Amino acid sequence: MPTLLDKRSWKITMYFGDHNPPHFHIVTRGGGEAQVEIATLALLAGEVDARILAAAREWAVERKEFLFAKWEEFRRPPG
């Protein structure tokens, strides 16, 4: 589970070989987790504090190309 952004109380991660659509995970230090679609920044699943969700979307909006590249990198089979 590579970490792409690490804040004090939450982080943005992706999982190797994860399912479509392309998305990232917001994981909070308190155990909350949400999935956000990269293309639309829509909440796909889970629940986190609204302020954390807004901050993650704000970070992601300018980094969609980076996020899509990481998605493709992490989806490739090893070797």
Using one digit for the tens of pLDDT, what is the confidence trace for 12-55?
Answer: 999 988 999 999 999 999 999 999 999 999 999 999 999 999 99
**Distances in whole angstroms, Cα of residue 28 to Cα of each of 39, 56, 68, 73:** 22, 11, 22, 24
The encoded tokens of residue 78 equal 């090893």
* DSSP class of 73: H
Q: What is the pLDDT of residue 40?
A: 98
Number of domains making up the chain: 1
**Helices (DSSP H) in the chain: which residue ranges?**
50-61, 64-75
pTM given for the model: 0.93
Q: Report, in angstroms and rounded to the nearest whole number, the Rg of the chain calculated over CA atoms.
A: 12
